[in-house]
Amino acid sequence: MLTGKLALVTGAGGGIGRAVCQLLAEAGAKIMAADCNHTAAKETISLLANNDHMARRMDVSDSQDVKAAFDNIQSKYYKPPEVVVNAAGIVRDNFLLKISEEDFQKVFDVNVKGTFLVTKKACEVLVDIGAAGSIINISSVVAKRGNIGQCNYASSKAAVETFTKCVAREMADYNIRCNVVLPGFIATTMTNEIPEKVKNMFKSMIPMKRFGTPEEVAQMIKFLASDESSYITGSSFYVSGGIE
Ligand SMILES: NC(=O)c1ccc[n+]([C@@H]2O[C@H](COP(=O)([O-])OP(=O)(O)OC[C@H]3O[C@@H](n4cnc5c(N)ncnc54)[C@H](O)[C@@H]3O)[C@@H](O)[C@H]2O)c1
């Protein structure tokens, strides 16, 4: 399904990013696992079957880091990644009346600017050589519904969805697709710290009455990465157990 493709996955040391690396590698892709936590990215690579993958420390919100990672890919694989999954993301939750300017900005720097920097660089290098590509961004159901304590995160994820639609329109002529996945509540480090009482409240709101797994999100991303989704661009996909 993805044999011969090269995939750059950001946030590759985290729950969803790691599951994406595993599924894409099983489908035949070579993986560049990038994360600001290099150890976690290396752990991800150690879980993959063959050894033609690589891990790299990269802060997606730093344009120099992003450029260096793409240079590194070019020198190792002699081509740009045809698949890019922007899975790096952070939360800095707080109520509007308490949230600091710094925590508001930090979330936008990673979630929005990070997605922009990586997507822009990927498109530049693909357009340069006339290659097709598929970019998959990660938004969230909270982009649609808002969430108490997440004015920074939810609005950053709304920006990621709209950004995706702009990229899809501009890049369609170059045969570069760009789609966005909106996970609901997924069991990863990001949701680990939610108190049990609040988790149960969220579960009661989800039609399927449970959190999703990173693999369930990764399955959708694998489909969007592959040519099986060749006529899909600018689209949003819920992976949320029915919550919108
Ligand atoms: N878990 C959920 O319920 C859920 C729901 C909706 C959307 N999402 C989104 O899915 C994506 C993956 O989240 P996850 O649940 O796997 O979280 P996670 O915390 O397990 O993983 C996030 C990864 O991103 C990395 N990261 C953070 N800042 C970075 C930076 N500046 N540069 C590079 N890497 C950075 C972290 O080191 C971590 O490995 C995120 O964009 C998140 O917002 C998660």
* CATH number for position 127: 3.40.50.720
240 lines ligand 1 (CB under 6 A): no
What percent of the chain has pLDDT above 70? 100
> What pLDDT, in 10s, does the model give residues 152-173?
999 999 999 999 999 999 999 9
Domain of residue 164 covers 6-239
| pLDDT at 234 exceeding the cut of 90 | yes
182 Cα to the center of ligand 1, angstroms: 13
pLDDT of residue 216: 98
229 lines ligand 1 (CB under 6 A): no
pLDDT of residue 3: 96
Burial of 63 (0-12, 13-18, 19+ CB in 10 A): middle
pLDDT of residue 17: 98
Residue 244 counted as domain residue: no
Q: Which residues contact 196 (CB under 8 A, 6 or more apart)?
A: none
Number of independent structural domains in the chain: 1
Residue 168 counted as domain residue: yes
How confident is residue 219, by pLDDT bands cut at 50, 70 and 90?
A: very high
pLDDT of residue 51: 78
Of all protein residues, the one whose alpha carbon is nearest to atom 21 of ligand 1 is 14
10 lines ligand 1 (CB under 6 A): yes
Residue 1 counted as domain residue: no
Token pair, residue 49, equals 């079957």
pLDDT of residue 206: 97
131 Cα to the center of ligand 1, angstroms: 28
175 Cα to the center of ligand 1, angstroms: 28
54 Cα to the center of ligand 1, angstroms: 19
143 lines ligand 1 (CB under 6 A): no
The contacts found for 142-148 with CB under 8 angstroms, 24 or more apart, are 143/182, 144/182, 144/244, 145/244, 148/95
188 lines ligand 1 (CB under 6 A): yes
Selected catalytic residue, list 77, 78, 153, 231: 153
How confident is residue 193, by pLDDT bands cut at 50, 70 and 90?
A: confident
Q: Is 153 a catalytic residue?
A: yes
Q: Which residues contact 218 (CB under 8 A, 6 or more apart)?
A: 16, 19, 20, 22, 23, 24
Of all protein residues, the one whose alpha carbon is nearest to atom 37 of ligand 1 is 37
